Chain A
Amino acid sequence: QKEVEQDPGPLSVPEGAIVSLNCTYSNSAFQYFMWYRQYSRKGPELLMYTYSSGNKEDGRFTAQVDKSSKYISLFIRDSQPSDSATYLCAMITNYGGATNKLIFGTGTLLAVQP
């Protein structure tokens, strides 16, 4: 079993829909949480970074973390065709020092249809 589980999709939604992307994890040492977006043939780019349970909003994007359930979500409001990409959740352990690891989920492929 992978440390971070993410539904690979693909997820297809109409333009303007609210998109919900989710990840679960098993390692309690994960303390820092991120969402990345990756367009085809490009490197992952950071969308959101959070280190506490609760919600964090940035424009049309809201990241939600529930450490007690080991569950994180990314919501995209008013989705646009330009949001079509692979979305990767990522987490960092808190082992101390420089030995922390940034671990990724498998990514969810999102297609927003015009």
Chain B
Amino acid sequence: DTAVSQTPKYLVTQMGNDKSIKCEQNLGHDTMYWYKQDSKKFLKIMFSYNNKELIINETVPNRFSPKSPDKAHLNLHINSLELGDSAVYFCASSFDSYTEAFFGQGTRLTVV
């Protein structure tokens, strides 16, 4: 029974396309995140949500639009994909903003 699950696991798409990644957590957590991991393994926070409300937006291009329909779900929609968007995107959740985060298995996005 996966705690934080995201789909799809792999995504290969052409430049200019629009794509979405979905995330769900069954831990009852209030806080959810999107992180981007580049080829050098650096994990950079993109967004955080608390109880469906956007709390942190780390100067991410507005082509990236997160949406939280309820506190168990946080989706990420990306418009007009660029080559530089290729990375692994991780969804995570935590009980609150002071506690450890639990990560999904990642979505490997390749833009060609």
The reply to whether A43 and B41 contact each other, CB–CB distance below 8 Å, is no
Please give the number of chain B residues whose Cβ is less than 8 angstroms from any Cβ of chain A in the complex: 30
Quick one: which of A45, A97, A99, A107 contacts B103, CB cutoff 8 A?
Answer: A45
Query: Is A24's CB within 8 Å of the partner chain B?
Result: no
Please give the number of chain A residues whose Cβ is less than 8 angstroms from any Cβ of chain B in the complex: 28
Query: Is B48's CB within 8 Å of the partner chain A?
Result: yes
- What is the CA–CA distance of A42 and B106 in the complex, to the nearest angstrom? 7
The reply to whether A107 and B42 contact each other, CB–CB distance below 8 Å, is yes
Residues on A with beta carbons closer than 8 Å to the beta carbon of B31: 98
Query: Is A103's CB within 8 Å of the partner chain B?
Result: yes
Query: Is B65's CB within 8 Å of the partner chain A?
Result: no
Chain B residues 20-78 with CB under 8 Å of chain A are 31, 33, 35, 40-45, 48, 50, 53, 55-56
